[in-house]
Amino acid sequence: MSVLLSSLKSLVTGIKAMFSGKAYFQTEDGKQIHVQFNPEQFRITKTAQYSSSADKENPYIIYSGMVLPQLEISFFFDTSGIKELSKIGSVIESDVTVLTNDFSNLVHLKPDLHRPPIVKFVWGSICFPGFVKSVSTTYTMFNKNGMPIQAKVDAQLIGIPEKSEAKIPLESPDRTKSRVVSERADIWRLAGTEYGDISRWREIALANNIMDPFDVPTGTVLKVPALK
C-alpha cells in the first residue's frame, strides 16, 4: 500500500512541475487550464474596416471601425512518458485526451450563462480576453492499443473590447470650417469629405441658409459646421 501511495504522490508532483510557468487559459469562474508545452509562437490580429466612395472624380475612404481582434495559437501535448496507476494497481500510459478535452469544452454552451465562457489567454505579459471560436485537435501518435498519447491543438479566440477602450465618435472635429464650392467640390462631396457621409449635406445647407442645393455658384464659401 505504501508503494502505491508513494507512486501516486510522485505522479502528482510530476504533473504540477510539468505545468509550472506554462501559459494557460483562465475562465471567468477562475479555473485555469494550462498547456503542457509553451507555444513557439502565436498570432494576434487587429483589423480596421474602411469603405470607399463610388465617386470616381472625388474618391475618398471612410473609416468604419475596428474588427474584434483575434488570437490564433497552437500547442502540443505528449503523455507518452507519463504513467498513471490503473484501478488494479498496474502502471499504464495516460490518455492525452484527458488534457486536450478541457480546451475543446471551452466552445460549449454554459447553461447558467447561456453562452460559452469568457476566457483569458495568459502568458507572461500577454493577457488576451475573449471567446473561444474554434478548437481543432489533431492526434499524432497512439500506443499499441490505439490510445492517443500525442496531440496538437489549434485554437482561435475572438477578443472582447477592453473597458478602458473609449469609443471614438465618428464625427467631424469640434470646430466650424469654411470650404469653397468648386466643380469638384459641391455640397454633397463636401459632406462626404468632411463627415464621411454624403447624406449629411443638409447640415451644410441648413448652416448656410441654402434652399436649393443645385443652385450654389462655384466659388461660394460655405460654412461647414461641426456635428453635435
Instruction: Please determine, looking at this structure, whether the domain spanning 2-159 carries the CATH number 2.40.30.
Output: yes
Cβ atoms 68, 160 nearer than 8 A: yes
pLDDT, tens digit, 9 for 90 and up, residues 183-227: 777 888 888 878 778 888 888 888 898 888 888 888 888 888 887
pLDDT in tens, 98-126: 889 999 999 999 888 889 999 999 999 99
Distance CA 202, CA 212 (A): 11
Q: Where in the chain is the domain with CATH 2.40.30?
A: 2-159
Q: Which of 113, 130, 114 is nearest to 122 (CA)?
A: 130
User: Which CATH architecture best describes the domain 177-224?
Assistant: Roll (3.10)
pLDDT at 166 over 60: no
The CATH 3.10.350.10 domain(s) of the chain lie at 177-224
Cell of 201: 449635406
Provide CB contacts within 8 A for 78, sequence distance 6+: 36, 37, 96, 141, 149, 150
DSSP letters spanning 97-145: HHHHHHHHGGGSPBTTTTBPPPEEEEETTEEEEEEEEEEEEEEEEE-TT
Paired sense of beta strands 61-78 and 32-34, if any: unpaired
Determine contact, residues 185/58, Cβ cutoff 8 Å.
Answer: yes
